[in-house]
């Protein structure tokens, strides 16, 4: 679908620059409200309906402004609003589904710096909006904004027990026969939306919990902490003599973990542990297949083969992992960045829920994390971003085509080459992974040089 405003994960950008401006978000709220109201009326037939949406946000200072704009837009469209304040993205998905609402909206730019922000939508089932509904909203945004009659305006109120509901939901994804007693955890909330909900989840399941990244001030979200900066967590885990560290990102849907030695475990490794646990303790029939992305390590793919589990790659982005999981009917997938989808537990990626699945595996296997991944051979990867002319069709460049062909021959049976264009800037990403790190580096540089030699 050709998108004017929506990207692969909602609408996102720098605050104050289109489309992340208060006037645009006001029109977005009105447009989305009209589309949702029309769909609700169609579904209800002759019954009167009054749609309700839930709005959550992360801890960025711009969230106050954008929340007010969205609320006003929905109200003008005749849609009621439930406000929950700072709340992880997956919590909004859960609450939307649990309360049988028309939609859930999250004001967040995930792992980006504080001066970015964005808007994400979930449908009434707690799943990301379909392309068709996003297209309807985009079309409606460009129409003049109006307002329903005063008697039909939407109302807004706070959902006071949102945190408690979500905490209990997360805890219920951890097997009731298990406990985290005896484990000492450091939980890094990235000064983000999970700062007040993640610590109680692990504490109430029995763990000793030390919290960092839990003092948001509107400006420090993701700043040197969280899933995108796990080194600070590794340092704290070692200093505290903790068993594990759990790093979330600003909106709580990513997970990176650290063990007592300071070793960092990425999304591929954590997904592998979850799959391994399902196969051992639930049965291999519970894992029909697993979805990764084009960036998933080749070692993971080969590990799935050893477990006799089908593996497929989607485009990069958890949206595309989700789409492929729906197509296949599978429940497990993820990205090395830490987006992990366990659709047998939740409708979307959830950092807290994913951490609980990994911890359940550690408890059930009675083995530390490093041992659980000891049979997962991660191939060394080299990634090079090459700036190229915006209109370059590299597949028609003889020099680039030849360099790629030579690389494929050199890597045959030993690794793989991935070349993909960035969707947001005139950059081509060249990634090579191979058993031998030097082979990966040399091959990636040779292909990158072919791109760099293209005329401007």
Alpha helices in 79-230 (DSSP H): 89-98, 131-141, 162-171, 198-204
Taking the mean position of all CA atoms in its chain, how far away is CA 209? 24
CB of 113 closer than 8 Å to CB of 218: no
Which pLDDT does position 456 carry in this prediction? 56
Phi-psi region of 100 (alpha: psi -120 to 50; beta: other; left: phi over 0): left
Per CATH, domain 381-452 is 3.30.300.130 = no
Cα 425 → chain centroid: 21
* CATH code reported for the domain at 165-246: 3.40.120.10
The mean predicted confidence, pLDDT, of the chain is: 94
Q: Model confidence over 351-389: pLDDT tens digits?
A: 999 999 999 999 999 999 999 999 999 999 999 999 887
Domain 11-160: give its CATH code: 3.40.120.10
Query: Does domain 267-372 fall into CATH 3.40.50.720?
Result: no
DSSP H or E stretch at residue 124: none
Reported as half-sphere exposure (CB side, CA atoms, 13 A), residue 103 has a value of 28
pLDDT of residue 395: 83
Model pLDDT, residue 4:
86
For residues 82 and 101, the answer to whether their CB atoms sit within 8 Å is yes
Please, which residues have CB within 8 angstroms of residue 252's CB and are 6 or more apart in sequence? 88, 89, 90, 91, 189, 192, 193, 194, 197, 198, 350, 351, 352
- What is the pLDDT at residue 413? 85
List strands edge to edge, sheet with 427-434.
381-387, 427-434, 415-421
Domain positions in the chain are 11-160, 165-246, 267-372, 381-452
Query: For the chain, how many residues are written?
Result: 456
- Nearest by Cα to 277 from 190, 359, 389, 370: 359
Low-confidence residues in the chain, pLDDT < 70: 1-2, 44-48, 423-424, 455-456
Residue pLDDT, tens place only, 256-276: 999 999 999 999 999 999 999
Fold matches, 11-160 and 165-246: yes
Q: By three-state DSSP, how is residue 37 classified?
A: helix
Per-residue confidence (pLDDT) for residue 454, from 0 to 100: 72
Q: How many beta carbons lie within 10 A of that of residue 423, not counting itself? A: 11
Catalytic residues: 110
């Amino acid at each position: 679908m050709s998108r004017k405003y929506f990207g692969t994960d909602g609408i996102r950008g720098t605050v104050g620059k289109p489309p992340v401006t208060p006037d645009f978000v006001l029109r977005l709220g009105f447009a989305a409200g009209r589309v949702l109201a029309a769909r609700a009326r169609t579904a209800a037939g002759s019954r009167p309906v009054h749609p309700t949406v839930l709005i959550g946000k992360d801890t960025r200072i711009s969230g106050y402004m954008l929340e007010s704009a969205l609320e006003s837009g929905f109200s003008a469209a005749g849609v009621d609003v439930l406000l929950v304040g700072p709340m992880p993205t997956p919590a909004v998905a859960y609450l939307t589904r649990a309360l049988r609402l028309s939609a859930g909206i999250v004001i967040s730019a995930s792992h980006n710096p504080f001066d970015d922000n964005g808007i994400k939508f979930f449908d009434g089932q707690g799943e990301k909006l379909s392309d068709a509904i996003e297209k309807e909203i985009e079309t409606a945004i460009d129409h003049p904004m109006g307002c329903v009659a005063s008697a039909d305006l939407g109302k807004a109120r706070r959902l006071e027990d949102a945190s408690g509901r979500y905490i209990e939901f997360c805890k219920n994804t951890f097997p009731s026969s298990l406990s985290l007693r005896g484990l000492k955890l450091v939980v890094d909330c990235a000064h983000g939306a999970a700062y007040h909900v993640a610590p109680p989840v692990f504490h109430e399941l029995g763990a000793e919990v030390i919290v960092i990244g839990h003092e948001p001030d509107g400006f420090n979200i993701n700043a040197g902490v969280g899933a995108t900066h796990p080194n600070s967590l590794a340092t704290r885990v070692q200093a505290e003599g903790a068993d594990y560290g759990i790093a979330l990102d600003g909106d709580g849907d990513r997970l990176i973990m650290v063990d007592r030695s300071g070793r960092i475990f990425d999304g591929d490794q954590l997904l592998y542990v979850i799959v391994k646990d399902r196969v051992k303790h639930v049965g291999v029939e519970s894992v029909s297949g697993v979805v990764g992305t084009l960036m998933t390590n080749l070692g993971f793919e080969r590990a799935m083969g050893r477990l006799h589990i089908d593996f497929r790659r989607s485009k990069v982005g958890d949206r595309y992992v989700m789409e492929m999981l729906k197509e296949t009917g599978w429940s497990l997938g993820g990205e090395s960045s830490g987006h992990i989808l366990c659709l047998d537990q939740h409708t979307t990626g959830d950092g807290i829920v994913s951490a609980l699945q990994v911890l359940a595996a550690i408890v059930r296997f009675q083995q530390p994390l490093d041992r659980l991944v000891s049979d997962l051979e991660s191939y060394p990867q080299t990634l090079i971003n090459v700036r190229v002319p915006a209109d370059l069709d590299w597949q028609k460049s003889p020099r680039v085509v030849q360099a790629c062909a030579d690389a494929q021959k050199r890597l045959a049976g030993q690794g793989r080459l991935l070349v993909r264009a960035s969707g947001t800037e005139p950059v081509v990403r060249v990634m090579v992974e191979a058993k031998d790190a030097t082979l990966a580096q040399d091959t990636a540089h040779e292909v990158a040089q072919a791109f760099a030699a293209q005329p401007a």
